[in-house]
Amino acid sequence: MTKHTDSREIEEEQWRPATRMVRGGTRRSAHGETSEAMYLTSGYVYEDAAEAEARFKGEAPGFVYSRFGNPTVAMFERRLALIEGAEACKATSTGMAAVFAALMAQLRAGDHVVAARALFGSCLYIVSELLPRYGIEVTLVDGVELDQWRAAFRPDTRCAFLESPSNPGLEIIDLEAVSALAHGVGARLVVDNVFATPLLQPAMRLGADIVVYSATKHIDGQGRCLGGAILSSQAFVDEELLPFLRHTGPSLSPFNAWVLLKGLETLDLRVERMCANALAVATLLEGLGGVERVLYPGLASHPQHALAERQMSAGGTIVSFDIAGGKAAAFDFLDRLGMIEISNNLGDAKSLITHPATTTHQRLRPEQRAALGIGDGLVRLSVGLEDVEDIKSDLGQAMAGG
Ligand SMILES: *Cc1c(COP(=O)(O)O)cnc(C)c1O
């Protein structure tokens, strides 16, 4: 493995966060391009046969095949690692590829995993359906109940997995407390930090050993492409993750890596504005007739508001709320919206709304949905970058029309 010791990389580590987002990881070609170059190549050529041998042995620097590494993808990985404050980052084709690889690279038959129940649908499928097929035992807990975590950890627990804030219930899990419990039995904590983004919640500083992202969400943030990332120690990448990725191939396309690199340049501006818009929207919704309950970590009414204030720097970009009258009323409300679109993506510049019980969480049994607080009247709003007054007036007119 190449070690990050050139002078350029030491300089990058001195930069403040906003500078890292714009410039971190940039490696110019001999042409001196301003924007990062897009290296759309599957392979690489060598000066001579000895050079090929040396690169394959890892004794000479350079790329050998884009399933293993690519200059544009490497720039994205380096920039995101700098933003997160992680030693290492590996990019993947999607967020789900990141979650799957982060878990499968370290687990084997006979291992035990503890996971919070309130997970993104596909994450829940991996832990509750796929892992047990390979002889991995999984205990699901209610993530906000520390006693349940404490009771679930065992000497053979290899890792803990959680998402905070969760989707779509926006539950906040105490990362420091869960990481202390995990580390107490020698297990690793894996955090899906998508809803918080690298900016609002420093998951690694709070004790996560491995952080995963769907870059499809806020990192792209403009609805263009899929991507994912895994951040961790260099040792985890070198010894466990890299062999898994090299041989299974969930690689990020250099084109998508380039789009995501450009997304990182404006991530803080977008997330900051979206959080301000989300707080204003949540405050408005709390006072609207027809809204039974508003879930937003930045509101004093949120059940884990104090914890959210401690571990997050803002309440996030997503607001969930219950509409009185169940599914029919929620559908009517969605259909009356004029500007805000019905879509299950999130973290986008455009405000998007979804009805989790019939879309993202449709496959769950009714009692599973009930346990997660996903009622038939619940809607999840991803607040975008439009003028907040336009977002508020659209919500207001749709609610008043009921
Ligand atoms: C979207 C999402 C994923 C999956 O990401 P993809 O890029 O769609 O594969 C995983 N976890 C959370 C919390 C998500 O929101």
CB-ligand 1 contact for 95 (6 Å cutoff): yes
Which of the residue ranges 153-162, 287-296, 366-375 would you say has the lowest mean pLDDT? Answer: 366-375
pLDDT digit string (tens) for 58-111?
A: 899 999 999 999 999 999 999 999 999 999 999 999 999 999 999 999 999 999
pLDDT digit string (tens) for 351-383?
A: 999 999 999 888 888 888 888 889 999 999 999
Distance CA 252, CA 73 (A): 7
CB-ligand 1 contact for 395 (6 Å cutoff): no
Rounded to two decimals, the pTM is 0.96
Written as one letter, the residue type at 226 is L
Domains recognised in the chain with CATH numbers: 7-265 (3.40.640.10), 268-400 (3.90.1150.10)
Q: How many angstroms is it from 214 CA to the middle of ligand 1?
A: 5
Ligand 1 pocket test: which of 93, 161, 213, 216 has the largest number of ligand atoms within 8 Å of its C-beta?
Answer: 216
CB-ligand 1 contact for 221 (6 Å cutoff): no
Ligand 1 pocket test: which of 217, 253, 346 has the largest number of ligand atoms within 8 Å of its C-beta?
Answer: 217
Give yes or no for a contact between 279 and 301, defined as CB atoms under 8 angstroms apart. no
CA angle (294 as vertex; 99, 266 as ends), nearest 5: 50
pLDDT digit string (tens) for 327-339?
A: 999 999 999 999 9
Compute the Cα dihedral for 286, 291, 293, 298 and give only its sign.
Answer: negative
| 3-state SS, one letter per residue, for the chain | CCCCCCHHHHHHHHCCHHHHHHHCCCCCCCCCCCCCCCCCCCECCCCCHHHHHHHHHCCCCCCCECCCCCHHHHHHHHHHHHHHCCCEEEEECCHHHHHHHHHHCCCCCCCEEEEECCCCHHHHHHHHHHHHHCCCEEEEECCCCHHHHHHHCCCCEEEEEEECCCCCCCCCCCHHHHHHHHHHCCCEEEEECCCCHHHHCCCCCCCCCEEEEECHHHHHCCCCCCCEEEEECHHHHHHHHHHHHHHHCCCCCHHHHHHHHHHHHCHHHHHHHHHHHHHHHHHHHHCCCCEEEEECCCCCCCCCHHHHHHHCCCCCCEEEEEECCHHHHHHHHHHHCCCCEECCCCCCCCCEEECHHHCCCCCCCHHHHHHCCCCCCEEEEECCCCCHHHHHHHHHHHHHCC
pLDDT digit string (tens) for 191-238?
A: 999 999 999 999 999 999 999 999 999 999 999 999 999 999 999 999
Q: Relative to the CA of 194, which ligand 1 atom is closest? A: 13
Average confidence (pLDDT) over 262-268: 97
Which residue from 316, 315, 278 is spatially nearest to 300, judged by alpha carbons?
315
Which residue from 28, 1, 25 is spatially nearest to 15, judged by alpha carbons?
25
Look at residue 2 and tell me whether its pLDDT is greater than 50.
Answer: no
Give yes or no for a contact between 185 and 145, defined as CB atoms under 8 angstroms apart. no
pLDDT digit string (tens) for 112-128?
A: 999 999 999 899 999 99
Nearest CA to ligand 1 atom 6: 95
Q: Which residues contact 18 (CB under 8 A, 6 or more apart)?
A: 268
Q: How many angstroms is it from 233 CA to the middle of ligand 1?
A: 22
Nearest CA to ligand 1 atom 5: 95
Average confidence (pLDDT) over 301-325: 97
Look at residue 254 and tell me whether its pLDDT is greater than 80.
Answer: yes
Look at residue 4 and tell me whether its pLDDT is greater than 60.
Answer: no
Ligand 1 pocket test: which of 119, 162, 194 has the largest number of ligand atoms within 8 Å of its C-beta?
Answer: 194
CB-ligand 1 contact for 354 (6 Å cutoff): no
In the prediction, which pLDDT does 7 show?
A: 74
CB-ligand 1 contact for 84 (6 Å cutoff): no
Look at residue 5 and tell me whether its pLDDT is greater than 70.
Answer: no
Nearest CA to ligand 1 atom 2: 214
State the chain's mean pLDDT as an integer.
Answer: 95
Give yes or no for a contact between 322 and 375, defined as CB atoms under 8 angstroms apart. yes
Nearest CA to ligand 1 atom 4: 95
Q: Which residues contact 217 (CB under 8 A, 6 or more apart)?
A: 95, 194, 197, 345, 346, 347, 348
Average confidence (pLDDT) over 145-173: 97
